[in-house]
Each structure stands twice: as C-alpha cells, then as structure tokens.
A and B are shown apart, each in its own frame.
Chain A
Amino acid sequence: MQYITHEKGYYLPLSYNDNKIVLLVRDPQCLFAYWEISNDKKQNFINQFGQDSWNNSKPVIKLTNSSEKTVKFIEVNDVTSNWYIEAEHANCNYSAEIGRMFNNNSFISLAVSNTAKTPKDKPSKDKAVVFANYKDVKTTKKVNINIKTNLGKYEHRFNNSLGLSSITLSGVSSDSFIK
C-alpha cells in the first residue's frame, strides 16, 4: 500500500528571538548555561551606550553563588550561545546573568537566569536519627531514636566508577547502541 504523506521535513530555528539565559546543572562541579539576546535588547543596548558599544564590549557571564555569597565573571564569546561553567561548590544555589563588559570592567546585565542548585557530593555530617511512619510523616510526631549504627564493611562511600556504563546505561537495548 502506498503511504501518502502530508509531511515535509522539519528544521529547528537557530534562535527564538527570546531574551533569556537558562542555567542547568550537570553535576556538583559543573553547570551549563544557554542564552539568547533578542534583537530589541541588543538595539536598546546600542542606543544606550553608543554605536560601537556592542563591539567594544565583551560577552560575559556573571555567576552568583547565593549560598556562599560569591560572584565570578566568565568571559565567553560572540559566536557561541552556551557554555559549561565550573561550579566551585556542591550543594549551592547558583544563578547566571549574561551581559556585556566594557574595558573598565563595568558589567551590563542583559538577562538573568533561573536558580540552579548543585547536588551534594558527599555524605552529610548530620547524623540525627528521626523516624516516622512514611504515610503521615508530615503530621505525626516524629520519634528521635538514639541509635549508633556501624555497618562495618558496608559503611561505604559511593563510588561511581562501577563500570556500569560499559554494559548498558539506559533501558534502550539494541545491538545498534553498542558495537
């Protein structure tokens, strides 16, 4: 049977002409940002700072760690619209701004990201043990139990070099995936 199609090929746009930056977490030590600066935003910037201001400034990401109250600036470039950013701290809230920096180090923010929290990368120091019935953990009185456990040889650290990925990582299973 001849299959009649009404579909043409699809393509994805290079840009949605949005003005935004989005911050994603890769792991406790690394974030990923992608951004778009809209034509209007760029024009406004030029109107405000002068004809050559875009070319005389550099694209820069301002990364704020609001948990540790630190800020750093990362110079990027005008041919990319995404960047992997080293996160110095696990378990911290980060946000990013994409903007332009002039030679005098003044930074003009063009877009502000969401907040992204880096995951923990080690066991907690807090060893308080509180028990509750899982069905009403929010409402019942929790029981503080003073237990000193020692799992002995099973008191292990997570080691993510189990080599799991060498067999199969996801449920997808086909010879096509691993050759």
Chain B
Amino acid sequence: MPKGYVSLILHAHLPYVRHPEHEDFLEERWLFEAISETYIPLINTYQSLVDDNIDFKITMSLTPTLVSMLSDYLLQERYRRYLRNLIELCEKEVVRTKNQADFNGLSNMYLDKYKSDLNVFNKYDGNLVKAFKYFQDIGNLEIITCTATHGYLPLMLVNPEAIRAQIAVGVQTYEKHFGRKPRGIWLAECAYVPEVEKDLLDYGIQYIITESHGILYADPRPAYGTFAPIVSPDGIVAFGRDIESSKQVWSADEGYPGDVDYREYYRDIGYDLDYEYIKPYINKDGIRHNTGLKYYRITGRNVEKQPYNPDWAREKADSHAGNFMFNREQQIKYLSERMDKPPIVVCPYDAELFGHWWYEGPQWINFLLRKVAYDQDVFKMTTPSEYLDNYPNLQVASISSSSWGHQGYNEVWLNGTNDWIYRHLHKAAEWMIQLANEYSNANGIQEEALNQAARELLLAQSSDWAFIMKTGTMVEYANKRTVDHVGRFTKLYYDIRENNIDVEWLREIQSKDNIFPDINYRVYKTEL
C-alpha cells in the first residue's frame, strides 16, 4: 500500500484565435508553438511511457477553445504549413551552421524534431484531440473540461444564466469530443465562487480544482489542509493546490525551469539572425518573432549566453525529476504519520509551462513518471477521480472563494487596465438572456442568428482578453477581440429585434467565429 498519492494536473488552454480573413495571422502562432513545444511533446511522453509499460496516471484539462482549435480543419492545415516552413528553415540552418560545431548539432536536432512532429500530427489525422482521447480511453490520462471560453465566473455573477452557459457548453463540448461525461472541471483561473455549484451539479460535475486557500479558508477549517479533498454541503468536491510542490516548479527564483543548463527561451534566431535571411520564416508583415529555433542555454544572469547542450539539459531534467520525487516522498511520509487517510498532493500547472516555457518540461514529466513507477514505493500517481473512487468519504466544508491569480482573488481580471470591459460584457449577457427568453421558438435564419449571438458573447467573455490587457503586451489585439465580439453581438441583437437579419454579414461572422457548431442559444433561457 502506498502511503499517499500525487496528482499531476496540467491545464492546457489557449484562447480561440482563428482568422480565415488573413492569410497569415501572427496570433495563430500561439497555437502552433504550443502544439510543437507542448502538446506533441506531451503526447510523445505518454506514448513512450505506454510503450515501456509504465503504470502512470496524469490529469489534463483541455479547454473547449483549445479542443475546438485542435479539431479545426483550417488551423490544422495552417499548422502543417507552419511545420513545412520550419522544416525548410531547419534545413537551411543545417547548412549555415555546418562549420559551427556547437550549433550544427542543434540545427539537426530541430530538423529531426519538426519532421517527427509532422509524423505525429499525421498519425492522428491532424487532430491531436484524438491522441489525448486515446490516452484517456486506455486509462492513463484523465481529461477534465473547463468553462466554455475560459470565462471568469466570479465576474459574471450578475447574470447567472451566463455562468450556466459557460459550464453547459464546456460540458457539451467535452462530451462531443471525448464520448463521455467529464467528472471534473477546471474553473478558468481556478476561480471559484459558491454560486457556481448548482450549475456544476446540474451538468454532472463532481469536482473542481482550487487554489490552496479555497481549501485552507473553507468553513469549517479542513483538518487535512490541502492534503485531502473536501466536499461542499451541496456536494461539489474541491482538490486544493499543494503549496510546496507548486513552488518547486513554478517559482521564478527557486523553480527548476530557471536552471542554467536549460534552454534559454529569450534567445531565438527569429531575432538573432540577419533580417533578409530570416524574413521568409517570419510573419508576412515582416515583424520579427520567435521561430522556435533557440541555440542557447540560460547560462546565468547578466553573463554571455553559452550554447545549449541537450545532454546536459537532459541530465538536469532527470535529476530535477529525482529531486521532485524525493521531496514528495518526504512530504508524504511526514503527512501520512499525521493523517488517518492517505494524503494526496495536488500539483496543478499550466500545461504550456512544460515545453513552451520550460523546454525540458515534458522530459522532466517522462523521467518523473518512470522514477515514481520504479524507484520508490512511498506514493503512487493518481487522478482526482481515482482518488475519489478509493476514498469517497470526505470532510464537509464550504469552499472559500478564490482564484490562482496574483493575490488570490479577482484583481488580475479586474483592475484599471481592464475594468472597462465588464459593463459591456454584462450588458451583452443581459441582452442574450432577454433574446433567449423572448425568442425561445426561433427557427431558420433567426435561430442561426441567435446561436451566433451566443457564440459572440462566449468569445467576448474569454478571460484571456482581460489578462492580456493586464500584462500589457498585445493589448491592441485583446481590445479588438473584445470590441469585435461585443460589436457583432450587439448588431445581432438589434437585427434580431428588428427582424432584419443581414444574411451575408451573418454568414461571414459564422465562418470567422465558427466555434461550438452545435450550440443552442436556449441555454441562456432563465427557465430551462
């Protein structure tokens, strides 16, 4: 019997960015980079573990926006184009660096990597959702859902129907792609308020993941801290983030990703090489950006960057995985002597940290899961559902409102940079509810317009726009997305009310904002 459990939870999310109206759109690269740097490396990690018969458990939330993009034909074709372009660049790099021993190996490494990405992508017919579904179906991966467009629920409380729609569409999208119901949901930004519970229960959700103080400030005070889930008086289970293990991976100062031997994210040939040379491989508007080909290691602060050495980096990932495991062993031994049920250490991270920011992250996961299986018997990896099946008796306590954003509440999404959006989002939600109540029997083009209105509202509600406004880069894009979706929604609202639907325009925005093809606007009706 293990003394306890560790649950690694990777939250994979990107906002819906898809611009058929542009041949080459810079922000679509967010998806392509994440596919090559995070999603395919994770799939490769899982496959290698399966091939070697390693008994492992891992959990991922795949957000409805991400699942929708991964299964979108246009974006799949554009990812293939992105890869072909990168492969061509790698081939040129192999030639350019042929007399630079430090770099030539790396050029070849990238050439092999991107060729292999294309093979993996083709293996799943261009739809990586199938890959994740496969690992769930064979029992190694538990996939949970998220609010439909990563909508930030605590700031939607004035329109309860809008909260319900975010949850309902999140659950429906999951069922469509994974052929089963989700047991858990990642509330966007781990943002919990008690008012969401009824809708979660109505849509069959059993558990959520919360920030540590969602548990630590619960009432009554949970006896086991974050080391056992709690259940609310209404029946929603909450797993709380472990503070110690979070810090080891996340912390900018103490975390593993900052190690000197790991690949340096901020040195990329997209910026380093001659403009004329790199021009065919950057955005058509000529703005330099990352290509993904990075030749340096972190090296240290304020020192000249040294060439990346993949062998050293792999050794570090191996030793950091060992360190992480050792610390969990100590933690769990210590806790298990003080608890009368096996502790669970919940480790949620942004999936894109692994691979995109921390290049060696997927390797670290690979090493960790192998070591846990073979090198110790203090704890086992588990998923929240498996833990619940084994230990269904939980302490009853009211979960505390919280988020995992800076300061632990809503400030990242509500501050001087982004507070202007809420009066428009709330008005649009109010109008959407009004439309759903008044036009509940719509059909034909009117029904199409109502469904499109629901899509526009959901897209406007993505927490990403407020987040980008706060971080201060790409703000113009986030502003435009907010204004465009609210603007499209508002025109639809008036067109529907005036019984004057602009069909050509509707067709155009349907083709642009084509997310959630099966949406039913009636989810916004006050009485279902």
Contacts and interface: CB of A to CB of B under 8 A. Distances in A.
Given A121-B217, A164-B404, A173 B225 contact: no
B423 interface: yes
Contacts of A5: 21, 508
A162 B21 contact: no
A49 interface: no
B14 interface: yes
B221 A171 contact: no
A151 B225 contact: yes
Contacts of A133: 392-394
A168 interface: yes
Nearest to B212: A158
Interface in B244-280: 244, 246-247, 250-253, 255, 257, 265-266, 268
A79 interface: no
A152 B343 CA distance: 14
Given A124-B217, A173-B14, A7 B505 contact: yes
A24 B466 CA distance: 15
A29 B481 CA distance: 31
A114 B474 contact: no
B23 to A, nearest CB: 8
Contacts of B352: 168, 171-173
A25 B395 contact: no
Nearest to B65: A171
Contact of B487 (A12, A30, A136): A12
Given A131-B396, A134-B235, A149-B338, A175 B290 contact: yes
Interface stretch (B100-108, B405-413, B445-453): B405-413
Interface residues of B, number: 116
Nearest to B240: A158
Contacts of A69: none
A167 B255 contact: yes
A71 interface: no
A178 B33 contact: no
A37 B225 CA distance: 47
Contact of A170 (B246, B331, B467, B474): B467
Contacts of A175: 265-266, 268, 289-290
B509 interface: yes
B216 interface: yes
Contacts of B231: 132, 134, 137
B483 interface: yes
Nearest to A174: B30
Interface stretch (B47-55, B129-137, B149-157, B433-441): B149-157
- The number of chain A residues touching the other chain, given as a range, is 35 or more
Contacts of A131: 393-396
Interface string A146-179: 0101111111111110111111111111111111
A27 B410 contact: yes
B77 to A, nearest CB: 14
Nearest to A123: B221
Contacts of A166: 251-252
Given A119-B401, A171-B150, A160 B408 contact: yes
* Residue among A11, A25, A167 having the largest count of chain B Cβ atoms under 10 Å: A167
A127 B221 contact: yes
A163 B250 contact: yes
B404 A129 contact: no
Given A10-B483, A119-B409, A154-B227, A114 B158 contact: yes
A7 B265 CA distance: 38
A10 B410 CA distance: 28
Interface of A: 3, 5-7, 9-12, 16, 18, 22, 24-28, 30, 32, 34, 36, 82, 114, 116-117, 119-138, 142-143, 147, 149-160, 162-179
21 contacts: A24-B155, A24-B422, A25-B410, A27-B408, A34-B419, A114-B157, A127-B221, A129-B395, A132-B396, A134-B206, A134-B392, A137-B232, A150-B338, A165-B405, A170-B13, A170-B463, A171-B14, A172-B30, A176-B289, A176-B474, A177-B474
Interface of B: 11-15, 20-22, 26-27, 29-30, 33-34, 38, 63, 150, 154-155, 157-158, 189, 206, 211-213, 216-221, 223-225, 227, 229, 231-235, 237, 243-244, 246-247, 250-253, 255, 257, 265-266, 268, 289-290, 331, 334-335, 338-340, 350-353, 356-357, 388, 392-396, 400-402, 404-412, 414-415, 419-420, 422-424, 426-427, 463-464, 467-468, 471, 473-474, 483-484, 486-488, 490-491, 502, 504-505, 508-509
What are the 5 A-B residue pairs with the smallest beta carbon separation, nearest first?
A10-B487, A171-B13, A173-B352, A27-B409, A119-B401
